[in-house]
Amino acid sequence: MGEDCSATQLIDANRAFNVDGLDRFLKEVKLADYGLSYAVVSIIGPQSSGKSTLMNHLFGTNFREMDAFKGRSQTTKGIWIARGVGIEPCTIVLDLEGTDGRERGEDDTTFEKQSALFALAISDIVLINMWCHDIGREHAANRPLLKMVFQAMMRLFSPRKTTLLFVIRDKTKTPLEHLEQVLREDIQKIWDTVYRPQAHKETPLSEFFNVEVTALPSYEEKEELFKEQVAQLRQRFFHSIAPGGLAGDRRGVVPASGFSISIQQIWKVIRENKDLDLPAHKIMVATVRCEEIANEKLRCLTLDKGWLELEASVQAGSVSGFGRKLDSILDAYISEYDLETLYFDDGVRTAKRQLLVSKALHLVHPAFQAMLGHLRSKALDKFKNDLEQLLESGKGFAMSVRTCTKASLLAFDTEFTDVAIKHADWNASKIREKLCHDIEAHAASVRGVKLSELKSSYEKKITEALVQPVESLFDSAAQDIWASIRKLYRHETENAISRYSSSLTGFELDQSTFDKMMADLKNYARGVVVRKIREEAGKVLIHMKDRFSTVFSHDKYSMPRVWTGKEDVRKITEEARAVALKLLAAMAAIRLDDQSDKIENILSSSLMDGPVIKNRTIEASRDPLASITWEGVAPENTVITPVQCKSIWKQFKVETEYIVSEAISSQEALKHRNSWLPPPWAIVTIAILGFNEFMMLLRNPLYLVILFILFILSRVVWYELNIAGEFQNGTLSGLLAISTRFLPSVLNILRRVAGEGNRHHQAAQSSQQSLPSPAHTPRNQMQRRFSSSSFSSSNTEILRHSDAGPSSESVAESKSSPICH
């Protein structure tokens, strides 16, 4: 009997609690699975009153029973625990050590009181085993027992209502009704004599106990009847915890999962001889057990495969359905907690549940934040892409930013609903604010880039529109350079500012920023002109020399000037220098504002030689150029200081004197080249002194022929030797060149004349041999005439060549002649 009862000694005779045995027992009976659907039944009574025998027959346990043949002695030591076999719901049975035993002695009642208090604290039903013959007796053995039970009840703060089932053993012929009436009267008397706290002075016995009475025959004398009535009594323990069942008040019951902790703590308090506060004990048990369950669920959540996979996926990137998946994992463990702590105190269970949820949320919060980070990055990328597309389509910047911001935030809010967790009231306000900040920062960055690009574009256009035109104006011979520069500067600046203003409309800038950008562009345009002017001023000497050369070397029709000797070099030089000085005056200061100055007058009066400017306004006693500033010109507008102008002019004059000297030399050379005839007085003298010789030539024609031939030869030699060209290089060099070439040139001329004569003579002989008639035929006469005419024509040709000067062929032939070599 009782093979499945798993009887275990819970507390030994020395009051030591068997924790390991209890844990094994609870695992064997699987009590944690029953929740609140279990009952605890204990039995107390005098030693050797048959308590163990009754429990074994009533619940199918196998507690050790007394051997009657060995005499009455202590059989059960301490407190034993077992499971009732075949009874629903699960019933835990406690067999307590008997009272009034000789083994502990008359004075050692501590364990009896402690065990009785322990039984009342944890049991739903307490069986009080008593002898029938003790009912109604003043000094019966059951009176100290009842008094001890009532006194123990008073040590329980706010005790629950417990069922006291009095089992009358060895019933006599006295009817049960009379026995029950007497027993109840005795119980009431004992209750009235027990000390009670002030709060329970008037509290009736029924507030603490449900008193039930039953009687059983003697086991030794009427065993079969005993077993039959015990079987009937056993039926009362089925469904004992149901409404109307044998169990009493179930309000203080501890959930099965906390049973071990509960009874351990109760026994600890009882051993320390402290009053047992059952409500506080219930809270304590609920606290400990709920905390254990919460920690276990949190540990399982930490190691959950689904959660680990979800966490890893979130670290890698955005996860679709994150909130739904995480809620599913959390719901599973929170539901398990709710199920396992269902029967514990609501306040404790709720508090620990909140703590579990808080810890679980703390565990998953980094993943949640990571998901929000992914959403923020995704929304920010969407903003960047949309903004780029809208700007490429030509829409205004500010409108594009507003449109893209609204779309990105809407996308973030929409996707956040997929990330939100129902167990937490987390919101994305901070991440959303960060997203807005990032969007604003990116928009500001893009706006800065676009404004910078736009500014650079217009600055480039202004540079292109101003630099080369300004340079060309300085290169030109304009009368008023600065008037043209101002006109160009204002025109291009106004056009650029107008277009720039239209381009900035889409940015919706505040007025101060807009005005600043307009001013910056205008200042840039001015700076372009100023920088170009200063750059050109660095080359002012080159510009002055070019301008001087242009005016000096070209006439008023811009044709290259030929120095014939009739030009007034001094006047032309002064005009060219005046133009160069005017250019220097133009470059000396910046005149973008309509303000006049006296720079040109000062330079002209101080630097020009001669009376070019007659009305001098500056005193001769003071040098106006001995300064670093110009009168009426701001220092920042000064490009070339007066001292620098003076130095530049000095260098300019030195470097242009060579051009003037060359012009004067060209005129002198041309005059010498054109004066071959002697002076008129020499011609008159020659005519008077040579009159006789001239008349002699007229009287003798042979002299004329000889002179003519000499004249022809001298002309040929003149052009052959290029005497005029040789003497242009100097008299000495000309004489040396002519002396080395004179004889070869004369021989070359004679050789050509002889060659022409031989050629005509051979031609005449060949024509005579071919004629059949004598030499006096008309044809011979014609040949002779032809020969004479050919000789005459050859002489004429030689003269013609001598008049025309030496040709390139004749010069080449003379150079190749062996005589020349």
Binding site residues, as ranges?
A: 45-52
Alpha-carbon gap, residue 221 to 132, rounded angstroms? 15
Are 470 and 485 in contact by the 8 Å Cβ rule? The answer is yes
Q: Which residues share a beta bridge with 125?
A: 41, 163
Binding site residue list for GTP: 45-52
- 167 contacts 216 by C-beta, under 8 angstroms: yes
Q: Which of 774, 587, 573 is nearest to 658 (CA)?
A: 573
Do residues 43 and 97 lie in contact, with contact meaning Cβ atoms separated by under 8 Å?
Answer: no
* Cα(186)–Cα(139) distance, integer angstroms: 11
Distance between CA atoms of 408 and 388, rounded to whole angstroms? 14
The Cα 595–Cα 599 span in angstroms is: 12
Residue 87: closest CA among 237, 231, 228: 237
Of 96, 125, 95, nearest in space to 250 by CA? 125
CA distance 728 to 740: 17
How deeply is 38 buried, as exposed, middle or buried, from its count of CB atoms within 10 A (0-12, 13-18, 19+)?
A: buried
Give whole-number Cα distances, 83 to 26, 64, 248, 259, 312, in Å. Answer: 10, 15, 20, 14, 48
Q: Is the dihedral of CA 246, 247, 249, 251 positive or negative?
A: negative
Q: What's phi and psi for 281, nearest 5 deg? A: -65, -40
Q: Is residue 487 a contact partner of residue 549, using CB atoms and an 8 Å limit? A: no
Q: Which residues of 762-779 are buried (b: 16+ CB within 10 A; e: fewer)?
A: eebeeeeeeeeeeeeeee
SS3 8: strand
Contacts of 666 by beta carbon, 8 Å cutoff, 6+ apart? 563
Q: Which residues, other chains included, contact 746 with Cβ-Cβ below 8 Å and sequence gap of 6+?
A: 713, 717
